[in-house]
Structure 1
Amino acid sequence: MNKFAIIALWVMVQGCAQSPTQESKLKQLGKFPSSLKEVSGMETTQDGNLWVIEDSGNKDHIYKVNHKAEVLYSLKIDHAKNVDWEELTTDSLGNLYIGDFGNNANERNDLVIYKVDSLQLTKKEPNAKKIAFAYPEQKDFPPKTDSLYFDTEGMIHWQGQLYIFTKNRTRPYSGKTLVYRVPDKEGSYVAEFLGALFLCEDQNHCSVTSADISPDGTTIALLSYGKLFLLNSTALSNIPETKVRTIELHQMTQIESVCFLDNKTVMIADEQNRFGGRKLYKFQLD
């Protein structure tokens, strides 16, 4: 084959290789300021903007940002300490829930979800109420390596309950997230175990880093590194029989946050790492 034929063939192959993929639908909207390097949770506000938080080592603040990832203002949350804030969710009344349940080493026995009433969000330093909880299956702090299920980064609110999806750190890796629920009211609870949901076998891409539920209450999105898992909300009544749809995002950055903008659109944010990040994206579901 002559040189020109080889070049023509190479061009044709490259054209085929660059056909649209799921990755092409992940649209970058903006980049967070350098002061927000570790966005760990995100939720849509009632006025269409976004609340975001950062995880351990950062301030006890929530930040309102627009769709360009620009900070509009921040609020210090009173009666709340950022041990390891990992997730945000809201209910239909606009009450905000902050998941302080990051637990990388599975050592914590002070897990809490902070509830900030919607009216408090109009104040300079909103007051938070505590929803403390414990996992009934965890007996040791930390447990053995094959039982490291009790780090958490995913939470949704649905029908008066908070649903928690744990982040699997087991060795060997089992591919499961444990699903729990607790009431959305101030108090101290033993979380109710609903079942284990198998996602996939790759620890680098199948551990839950965030969750949200669509505004119509029908679709749950679970985010992991490079993948988005979708399931119907009715599955919460029968976790073992749940069918999961997997979407490949082909994203190498540390994507840590997801929330629904509408029933068919999700917003995704990543933390800064060696692959880049600190960006806000929009993803359109089929």
Structure 2
Amino acid sequence: MSETIVQVSSIKKHYRQKKRKTVKSVDNISFSIQKGETFGLVGESGSGKTTLGRLIVGIHEPTEGSIAYNGKDISRLTKTERRTVNREMQMIFQDPEASLNPRMKVEDIIAEGIDANRIAKGAERKQLVHQLLERVGLTAEHASRYPYEFSGGQRQRIGIARALAVNPAFIVADEPISALDVSIQAQIVNLLKDIQAEEELTFLFIAHDLAMVKHISDRIGVMYLGQLMELAPSEELFANPLHPYTQTLLAAIPSLDAYAKSEPESTFTEDPRGVEKPQLLHTEKGCPFYERCPMAMERCAHERPEWKEKAAGHFTACHLYD
């Protein structure tokens, strides 16, 4: 039986705006991540993916709900327990240029966690940094350089080395390839897969590129306007997508047939209902995808679909399957 390393239960993150409007960045989401797996999280920009990832590692505090790491609610940990969890849960950020201090040398950037956790110092610290650089495809000579001297792909490798420096068990990779050239993206994803296999790591891999997420993920959750629309094993999701939102996302993946026709197979700009993407200000009632869904029914506007398991490990929230 698989061991649960992260359990997200009814988590919410709401922000109060002017005129008492509430932005529901994450709205009542529950799922678990099993030890050793890569859990993919996909959705359009603004769906709440990054906020959810930051909630899990403790950068943001939830409005409601709980997050458990190895069975313990992280909001109720002692200072010593919190320090241990902070070390075991690391994050790789989307923009490698913005996430690296331009005034620090690479050696000191990678060693921030090493220093904070008193893992090594002096010659041992330097040797550990060099080993980490070589582990991510760089060399010891790069340790004395500054971030601006590297390409985008190299900077992301430095970010990965920094995350690995404290020997974590769980890593949130927040769109780690979206700021990179297409030719470099596969290299970074393959690097992460190799590291996971060797270090027995668990990943939450956040992205909007479904094809790349399929390549790296064991299971995939699909988010829309702060809510989970569907969750299934990777192969199952691609072979049998249930929710209309998931179906539209998959249809929008570029293919050779689509290029041959010189037109995309499906995009949200060609919404059959002619509705622009709404904001995260939807009400508690109804399905958040209602206004854009080509298969919407009257009840979808005022009755929120229940989260149900329609097949083994395959969940969705849609009235089509009631």
Please identify the structure whose Cα radius of gyration is greater: 2
Same fold, TM exceeding 0.5? no
State the structure with bigger RCO (CA 8 A, min sep 6), 1 or 2: 2
Structure number having the greater strand percentage: 1
TM-score, structure 1 length as denominator?
0.28
Q: TM-score, normalised to structure 2's length?
A: 0.26
Structure with a larger share of its residues in helix:
2
